[in-house]
Structure 1
Amino acid sequence: MVVAQYKLTSFDIDMSDKIIPLDCDDVVLLGNDTFKASRLKELVDKQIRQRLHRCVYESNSLEPGISIFELFNLISLSEHHIKLREIQYKYVINCQVLRIGSQGWQKGKLNIEVCILSLDPNLNQIYLEFYPEEAIEYDPIFDDICKIIAEN
C-alpha cells in the first residue's frame, strides 16, 4: 500500500506516552470556538471532502477538469503508474480540552489525522488525539477521600 502524507505544521509533538484519544463527548476549544469532538470530526470531514472534489482546470484547455482527489489518486512515473489507495493528512494545532470527568480545561496540542480512502472517499477516517502540556498525575489518595465523603 502506498501512502501519501502531507504535514501542515511547523512544530513537532513530543510523541511520548501522553497521547489521549478524544471521546465523542469531549470538548475542544480552538481559539474562541468550542466543539464536541464528534462535531469537530464531522466538520473536518465535510471540509476535506468539499475541497478534494473541487475541479482543477488546465488554463490552455476547454476540457472539464478533474477533481483534486483524482489528481492525487494516480501518480505517473515515466511508464509506471502508482494508484494510491489512501492519502493521509496530519494537522497539529494548539487547543484546550475539557474531558468527561476531568477537573477543568487542559492546554495542549490537538493532532487531527485524516485518512482518505481512494476506494470510497465517503469512508474517510478522522482521528483526534490530544497531547497535554503537563502530564496528568493520578493520586490514589483521591479515591480514599471520595469514599470518606460518600460515607458521610
Structure 2
Amino acid sequence: MTTLNLPSYDYKTKEIEGKNYIFDPIRKKYLLLTPEEWVRQHFIHLLEKHYAYSKSLIRLEGGLSYNRLQKRSDIVVFDQEGKPYLLVECKAPEVKINQSVIEQASRYNLTLRCPFVVITNGLSTFCFEIDFNNGTFQQMKDLPKTKEL
C-alpha cells in the first residue's frame, strides 16, 4: 500500500482466500484492504490517537439520503449531544482532491449539516469550517480539537 502523509500505526492485517484484509477497530472486524480503506483506517487512527476523538462518537460508512439517492458517508464524528460534528470524505491516494471531490462532500453535508468537513486521500488533507447561517466556508489549518465538542 502507498505510504500516506498520516501517522503510521500498528495496524492488523490478514489474508483470506488470497485477499488482504485490515482490522477496523470501530466496527471490530476485518475489511477488504482497498486503497480507500487504507486511508480510512489511518484517518480513524489519527482522529482517535492524535485528536482524542472517542471511538463511541465515530460512525463509519453511515447511510444518508441526497436527492432521493442513497449515499454513504465515510466517517462522521458526533458531538456529545449526538449531532453530526465532523464529516470526513476519504479517497484512495491516487484520487486527486479537486472541485468534484469537494462538491461531493458538500452535497453529503447538506443532509448531515456538520460544522466541519474534511477531505483526504491520505496524501493531502483539507479541513473546512462551514457557516450554514451565512452560506460560507473557511479552510482551516488543522482539524478541530475535541475540546470544541
Per the TM superposition, whether the score is higher than 0.5 is no
**Which structure's relative contact order is higher, taking Cα pairs within 8 Å and 6+ residues apart?**
1
Q: Which has the larger radius of gyration?
A: 1
TM-score (structure 1 length as normaliser): 0.24
